Amino acid sequence: MKKVLLSGIQPSGDLHIGNYFGAMKQFVDMQNEYDAYISIVNYHAMTTIQTGRELRENTLKSVIDHLAVGLDPEKATLFVQSDLEGLNELTWIFNTLITAPYLERAHAYKDKAEKGIEPSMGLFDYPVLMAADILIMNADVVPVGEDQRQHVEMTREIARKFNNKYGDVFKEPKEMIMKEVAVVPGIDGEKMSKSYGNTISLFATDTEIRGQVAKIVTDSTPVGESINPQNDNVFALHKLFSGKEIDELRQRYEKGEIGHKESKDILAENIIKYLTPFRKTREELMNDKDYVYGVLKEGAKRANGKAREIIQKVREVTGIKYV
């Protein structure tokens, strides 16, 4: 049998190329190899989105976006987190096993709070809900970015603690981090994130892409002088979009034969060429909502069939099921 893969993405706004290379592309590449479950995690998104209309629209857009980049609902199960029965119940059960000091260890919580995101209980409890996301599907592997590694480690610890209390119910999942794309740099050189406002949009227009690329932060090296490609934010994105030209670009950087503006122009055109087929497919899907709703209905059915086995075991061993 294929190993179970589970991962998810927050419908917290327009997706960007960091979402694509850090997660979505991996889902597409691995959908033949794994029994893949991809969740649009709308409960998690409620830590930052608290308008019903916005959350509904973002959720549907995120589903369409995943289909547009090549996720095949015949090969992978695509579903919305809130359609999963028993998930919040499992989160509560896990919450009875862990402590507040344990959750205070989470780096992501501290980082977001320091950046001005309201430190709500939902944000604080994020690792527990994520553990429930993973363990209710009995996942073997979890593709995540480097910044989420600790959350998968915490998931293993929660599974271990539950098993020690109630018997072996959960397997301990492993994180899967693709080193070369684990952290996609934003236009400021930091990790690309909607929260930081440093993104290049996945489905932007040609003009918008050129404008976003033009804003990439560079040093003041003048044209004609050598630039170290390893320290250049533009070149870091060339590695993702300019594969056939990358060796030539590296040589031009080192010889001082290219300046930042020309490099950005080349990058922008390569990004546009790469993303245009996705944009066309997305437009078609936006005009066929019945198909999209059908995908979600079938996805919820499959996901609940998988999760039901786990939640029934949990109810039995914890005594929640009392007859």
Residues serving a catalytic function are 112, 191, 194
**239 known ligand binder:** no
Residue 165 annotated as binding site: no
Is 292 annotated in a binding site? The answer is no
Annotated binding-site residue? 242: no
> Which amino acid, residue 316?
E
Q: Which residue's structure tokens are 């437009």?
A: 283
Inter-residue contact 58 to 12 (CB < 8 Å): yes
286 a known binding residue?
no
Residue 154 annotated as binding site: no
Q: Confirm or deny that 10 is annotated as ligand binding.
A: yes
β-strands 35-40, 4-9: how paired?
parallel
* Residue 195 assigned ligand-binding role: yes
Determine whether the annotation assigns residue 127 to a binding site. no
43, 129 contact by CB (below 8 A): yes
61 is in an annotated binding site: no
Q: Is the dihedral of CA 197, 201, 205, 206 positive or negative?
A: positive
121 belongs to an annotated ligand binding site: no
8 is known to lie in a ligand binding site: no
Reading phi first (left if > 0) and then psi (alpha if -120 to 50, else beta), residue 219 is in beta
Q: Is 234 annotated as a binding residue?
A: no
List the binding residues for ATP: 10-12, 18-19, 145-147, 184, 191-195
List the binding residues: 10-12, 18-19, 133, 145-147, 184, 191-195
List the binding residues for L-tryptophan: 133
